[in-house]
Structure 1
Amino acid sequence: MSPAERLAALRAALEKAGVQGFLVPRADEHLGEYVPPSGERLAWLTGFTGSAGLALVLPDRAALFTDGRYTTQAQQQLDPALWELRHIVDQPAVDWLKEHAAGRRIGYDPWLHPEAALKRLEPAGITLVPLPTNPVDAIWADRPAPPAAAAVPHPLRHAGLAAEEKRSAAAALLREAKEDAAVLADSHSLAWLFNIRGGDLDHTPLALGFGLLRDDGSAELFMEPGKVPPETRAHLGNAVTVRPREALPGALEALAGRTVRVDPEATPAWFAETLRAAGATVAAGDDPVRLPRACKNPVEQQGARDAHRRDAVALARFLAWFAAAAPTGRETEVSAADRLLAFRREVPLFKAESFPAISGAGEHGAVIHYRATEASDRPIRLDECYLIDSGAQYLDGTTDVTRTLWTGPGPAPAALRERYTRVLQGHIALATLRFPKGVAGPHLDAFARRALWEAGLDYDHGTGHGVGSYLSVHEGPVAFSRAARPVPLAPGMILSDEPGYYLPGQYGIRIENLLLVREAGQRPDQVKPFLEFETLTLAPYDRRLIEAALLSPAERAWVDAYQARVLAEVGPHCDPATASWLAAACAPLT
């Protein structure tokens, strides 16, 4: 079917269902950012392949909402004759519905939306109608089968804490809140709580499923039995029961008269609806696993350091190769990304990329989450910006790093150097910050933007996201973003530090390191505990893009110290040619 035929077929299905509209989110029933091919309903319907979006379909019009990372991409992928494009923050869906759908019955799939998101649409004056089956699935004739990769144990030497300890601690939180059980809809929580990993997604090692954690530490894992081999069943132990997903309704009905925690932001509305219908009390509360998962234990922290040091060798090999290969004009966006992946595949404990590399030359670098394809791939030319944002999954940690490079041999234009340096100043400002306990990510976002703001510049994405431990490269609940929940930063959390600047049609600049939150040392007259960041990523900045005169003495000293650290920690593990290149790349600024 063509895009127009798909939209027409959906509208016919909605008319048959007795509703005048339908919500199509990017998420699947686990509400995660990354979904398997069987969950790519938004992409199938609209052609938009970004990782964040919502489509609203009415009989006479349709709109797609996404954030600033994807507006340029969406403009390229959507048919404007079929879809209106809206910025999900500046032009929220509730306003569009109020204008175009007030008084109408709008259908939704209760497996694909959390209750909190549905409540935010109520001011639109619509009637939300849960549908028993998803009409997109009904018209998607060649929909792929759900993934069926096996769940495997995650070794204690990498996990740091036994699953029994984790379940006991989470159960204590439930008892303290006088709750009998908690629904676990986030497969990341299952992975961390039960010390399991899987292969249901290409870049995030998850075994997709659901869980019920009880206040005595016992649990039920709802996952197709074929996905849980004998080794994993033995690893889970007798306190964990594995049941097929079809057993979920009965398990929830058995909780009649009990109090069950449901995270309204991270759990499909189906769970709360089913529990209430069964006579259970639904207690709105955070997933009891989410915050402990974000605060890496000492073993996970050391694993992150080790993973980044090994990853840094692959990065150094790539950067040295790129410095020689780029001037030849023979490399493309795809070939460069493939070369970096080849270097990473030689690193011990490597499992996969943590996301498809964003390899953007020239104007493609201005597409914030650009992905080179066979159709879009282009040569990397002389004297232009090249942005490479990539990462890896290792058994002991997850990496994510961005560097913006100049392809030379000619000098970078002064305006480009000035803007790169302002991005670098914001990057440094966040990395060097000391702040009191209790401060949250949204409170710090502006530090990374100040140097750009002073020049009347900005970027339309958050400054940083949480990162998992051999889990998702995008992990909540913390982020450096004005749009994020104000969750206080705590020791052990890992976040990205990635300010940027994008000039559509010309180039993009982004600089990204991962930071580990740690306790800060005591200073005279300090009356409360402070925190600071440890930089995990080890990769040189492109000195040809730095306008050293713009840096303060402290900023310049920080860059020189960081580059010296990269050389000292990475150089000894490189081959002679890479080590020689790295020594020159890490030389002090002049």
Structure 2
Amino acid sequence: MFQTYDDKSDATHSAERLAALRTSLQEQKLAGFIVPRADEHQSEYVPPAAERLSWLTGFTGSAGTAIVLADEAALFVDGRYTVQAAAQVDKDAFEVVFIGDKSPTDWLVEKIKEGDRIGFDPWLTTRSQRRSMAAKLENAGAELVALSENPIDLAWSDRPETPTGAVRLHPDELAGRSAAEKIAEQREALAKRRAQAVVLTDPSSIAWLFNIRGSDVPHTPLALSFAIVHQDKAPDLFIDGRKLSNAVRDALADLAGLREPAEFADALRALGKGTKALYDAAGSAEAVALLVEEGGAEIVEASDPIALPKARKNAAEIAGSRAAHIRDGVAVTRFLAWLDLQPAGSVSEIDAAKKLEEIRTETAELDGSKLEDVSFDSISSTGPNAAMNHYRVTEKSNRTLQVGELYLIDSGAQYRDGTTDITRTVLVGEEATCDRLTLYRDRFTRVLKGHIALAMANFPKDTSGAQLDVLARTPLWQAGLDFDHGTGHGIGSFLAVHEGPQRIAKSGHVALEPGMIVSNEPGYYRPGDFGIRIENLIVVREPKVPVGGDRPMLSFETISFAPIDLRLISPALLTAAEIAWLDLYHARVRASLSFWPHYTDAERKFLEESCRPIVR
């Protein structure tokens, strides 16, 4: 099993840890300290050694910030985690604040007084974040102070070791291009910008550039590392040598100078005067910029130059993703068939998540492939748990699937040829056993209408995800409803399940381009009651002029395949075009997945019945 279900939250030590931290701050004449959930690479998924926020507060979500002052402390979370944070933290130690109501900096400005010094770790904070905080604090007469040592690290006596997961080469036939070609392209780009170097701190970018994959963080095949790409010589790759076999070391040595991470700081200083170094102020640590400037080099702020090439999947990567999604669609469909046959009240959220992972493993093996990992901890949720859109089931929270409730399963897989992410919401039991079917069908169908609207969209060049986001929300808005997460995120090629820079959300301002893969996942959540989400992955297609049109338009191809529960659809709410889309989608599901030779009779029957045309 690639995931566990133990409750990793522990707030029993928060009070004493908070007291120790405050003592340290007092000794340094600091009025407060900022604790983000981040590592030195600004990653979403971090190794245990970087879980400082969890160590201090007990909160285990993937995003959040704590601020500790002498006499009060607060944890700031977004809408995904308000319920979880309230349940996990010691409320006597930390106030939980919804970041939509008040930002951490605004809260801090209200609390501080003139002359206060607020500490932060420059390795866990980007330059953009530092600037924003510093400006507001300075207006209030306070100072933001970069600390040379993180006081949490000094107090964390049993802090885990830095990970040393093995690195392996990602084959060129799956990557679509060799690492040498990618590096040469980056050096040419540097020459055009008249810059001498670019500093890379995102392990996903480094993995893509050097065609390597690792195992340093949960569920994402990353090797924690840094790199400097030079315009006039081979790049430097700063990676723990214990991660490299002789064969991998030899292959990488042909591409780059291999150095230990401990040498990174000196290498940044050594860039020296006369060097213009590209640096992503929104994605790289403030400490990196300070070290470059300390050595006399000039910082040239620019977006990570790997982000867009990585997001624009090439033909080989798209082919791999399609193959991975067919394989994964077989597994998800087999799981849904299994679930449909289970006796009432016999399956828990954990049972279901384990079974899906088991079926994914078996399906991949029968397909001659391998499930390398899940792409994130499965969101296996029913009833009120499903109303928390980033719920993680534990032994403590585990619920049994009850007849007449909704079950939401959001899950994904890591295969060598692609990363998947798919969500289905199903009715537990038969329609006749559900006395809330009218409500469920209304909400489910509105979510489906938004999903279809986005899937069917045509849009011109330079259109951003923010401009398309409204399509997925309009059917809900019309009924006075909405959801508090983005509609879609980018996804990697056997890399991170959440990948930028593109996204379909109110904040998604990067233009969508051919080859980009994004999720399409509108939802609806009634707190304390139930949740609904329908998610497929879609790839941006090359532009073409629609019949009767006069301008080329981009569009989406849906590449995820699994039945959508017909029992939860109200046909009267669908237009003829929406019904046509749904029937065509199910015909594609049946055609794409029926080839698999290992189905049981029950699984094949489920596939056929679940993909029948809808009757209005």
In the alignment, which residue of structure 2 is the partner of 1:367?
388
2:168 is aligned to 152
Amino acid at match of 2:299: V
Matched residue type, 1:506: D
Partner of 2:532: 509
279, 290, 293: which one aligns with 1:262: 279
Q: State yes or no: 1:390 paired with 2:384.
A: no
> Which of 452, 455, 478 lines up with 1:454 in the alignment?
478
For 1:298-337, what aligned pairs fall within 5 Å after superposition?
298-325=315-342, 327-337=343-353
Deviations 1:220-276 (A, max 9, x none): 111111112221122224340110111112211221110001100111110101111
Counterpart position of 1:534: 557
Out of 375, 394, 407, the residue aligned to residue 428 of structure 2 is 407
Worse-matched range after superposition: 183-192 or 411-420: 411-420
Contact 1:38 1:143 in 2 (8 A): yes
Give yes or no for contact 1:349–1:396 (8 Å, CA) kept in 2.
Answer: no
Aligned residue in 2 for 1:215 = 231
Matched residues in 2 for 1:365 and 1:208: separation?
33
Per the TM alignment, residue 482 of structure 1 is displaced from its structure 2 partner at its CA by 1.1
Runs of 4+ in structure 1 off by over 4 angstroms are: 524-528
Contact 1:168 1:217 in 2 (8 A): no
Tell me: CA distance 1:529–1:179, structure 2 relative to 1, closer, same or farther (3 Å): farther
Which residue in the other structure is 2:122 paired with? 110
- Find 1:295's aligned residue among 288, 307, 312: 312
Aligned partner of 2:571: which letter? Answer: A
Distance apart, 1:525 and its partner CA: 6.8
Deviation at 1:311, TM superposition (A): 0.5
For 1:265, give the aligned amino acid. Answer: A
Deviates more, 1:7-16 or 1:384-393: 7-16
Corresponding residue for 1:123? 136
Aligned-partner SS, 1:572: coil
- One-letter amino acid of the counterpart of residue 253, structure 1: R
Displacement after TM superposition at 1:89 (Å): 3.4
Alpha-carbon distance, 1:201 to partner: 1.2
Deviation at 1:463, TM superposition (A): 0.6
Match of 1:37 in 2: 48
Structure 1 gaps, min length 5: none
Task: Verify the 8 A CA contact 1:312 1:539 in the aligned structure 2.
Answer: yes
Kindly provide the CA deviation profile for residues 298-319 of structure 1, in whole angstroms up to 9, marking residues without a partner as x.
Answer: 1000000000000011011100
Contact 2:269 2:293 in 1 (8 A): no
Q: How does 1:6-405 map to 2 (within 5 A)?
A: 6-103=17-114, 104-121=116-133, 122-124=135-137, 125=140, 126-216=142-232, 218-257=234-273, 258-325=275-342, 327-346=343-362, 347=364, 348-405=369-426
Question: Separation in 2 of the partners of 1:250 and 1:6?
Answer: 33
Q: How does 1:476-555 map to 2 (within 5 A)?
A: 476-484=500-508, 486-523=509-546, 526=549, 528-555=551-578
AA aligned opposite 2:513: A
The farther-off stretch of 7-16 and 229-238 is 229-238
After superposition, give the CA deviation of every residue in 1:477-526 in whole Å (9 maximum; x if it has no partner).
Answer: 11111123x11111111100100010011100011000101113213675
User: In 2, distance between residues paired with 1:427 and 1:71?
Assistant: 26
Q: Secondary structure at the match of 2:109?
A: helix
What's the CA shift for 1:216? Answer: 3.5
CA distance in 1, matches of 2:171, 2:323: 16
Q: Secondary structure of the equivalent of 1:350?
A: coil
- Report if the CA contact (8 A) 1:434-1:520 is conserved: no
Moved more, 413-422 or 90-99: 90-99
Q: Does structure 2 conserve the Cα–Cα contact (< 8 Å) formed by 1:333 and 1:378?
A: yes
Q: Quote how far apart the aligned CAs of 1:528 are.
A: 4.3
Counterpart residue number, 2:455: 431
Residue 441 of structure 1: how far off its partner (Å): 1.0
Match of 2:608 in 1: 583
1:318 maps to a residue whose letter is: F
Q: What secondary structure, in the 3-state scheme, does the structure 2 residue paired with 1:515 have? A: strand
Whether the 8 Å contact between 1:452 and 1:458 is mirrored in structure 2 is: yes
- Given that residues 545 and 551 in structure 2 are in contact (C-alpha distance below 8 angstroms), is that contact kept between their aligned partners in structure 1? no
Report the secondary structure of 1:375's partner residue: coil
Q: Bigger shift: 402-411 or 187-196?
A: 402-411
Residue 475 of structure 1 aligns with which residue? Answer: 499
- Give the CA RMSD over aligned residues: 1.3
Asked whether the equivalents of residues 183 and 213 of structure 1 are also in contact (C-alpha less than 8 Å), the reply is yes
Measured after TM superposition, the shift of residue 355 of structure 1 is 0.1
Question: Deviation per CA, 1:130-157, whole angstroms, max 9, x where unpaired?
Answer: 1111111111111111111121111112
Deviation track 1:336-365 (CA, whole Å, cap 9, x = no partner) reads 000000011121232000000000110100
Q: Distance in 2 between matches of 1:81 and 1:531?
A: 53
Q: Which residue identity does 2:150 align to in structure 1?
A: N
* Aligned mates of 2:287, 2:503 — CA distance in 1: 28
1:4 and 1:385 map into 2 onto residues whose CA distance is 39
SS at structure 1 position matched to 2:594: helix
Q: In the TM superposition, what is the alpha-carbon distance from 1:391 to its structure 2 partner?
A: 0.1
Q: Following TM superposition, by how much is the alpha carbon of 1:446 offset from its aligned partner in structure 2, in angstroms?
A: 1.0
Shift of 1:527: 5.1
- SS for the counterpart of 1:309 is helix
Q: C-alpha displacement at 1:190, in angstroms?
A: 0.7
Shift of 1:207: 0.6
Counterpart AA for 1:15? Q
Q: How many angstroms apart in 2 are the aligned matches of 1:482 and 1:82?
A: 34
Deviation at 1:408, TM superposition (A): 1.7
Length-normalised TM-score, structure 1: 0.98
Say if 1:170 and 1:217, in contact at 8 Å, map to a contact too: no
Secondary structure of residue in 2 paired with 1:449: helix
Deviations 1:201-226 (A, max 9, x none): 12000010100011146211111111
Q: Which amino acid is 1:546 matched to?
A: I
Q: Conserved in 1, the CA contact under 8 Å of 2:252 and 2:258?
A: no
Report percent identity of matched pairs: 47
| Structure 1 residue matching 2:595: 3-state secondary structure | helix
Quote the Cα distance in structure 1 between the aligned partners of 2:156 and 2:573.
55
Output the CA distance in 2 between the equivalents of 1:216 and 1:516: 36
Q: Distance in 2 between matches of 1:162 and 1:149?
A: 23
Shift of 1:198: 0.5
CA contact (8 A) 2:170 2:213 kept: yes
Query: Does the C-alpha gap of structure 1 residues 450 and 217 become closer, same or farther in structure 2, counting only changes over 3 Å?
Result: farther
Structure 2 vs 1, CA of residues 525 and 378 (structure 1 numbering), >3 Å: closer, same or farther? closer
Which residue number in structure 2 is paired with residue 418 of structure 1? 442
Q: CA separation in 1, counterparts of 2:415 and 2:149?
A: 38
Does 55-64 or 466-475 show the bigger shift?
55-64
Instruction: Tell me the distance in 2 between the aligned counterparts of 1:137 and 1:155.
Output: 38
**Cα distance in 1, alignment partners of residues 233 and 490 from structure 2:** 27
Does the 8 Å contact 1:106/1:127 carry over to 2?
Answer: yes
Distance of 1:177 and 1:512 partners within structure 2:
40
Q: TM-score, normalised by structure 2?
A: 0.94
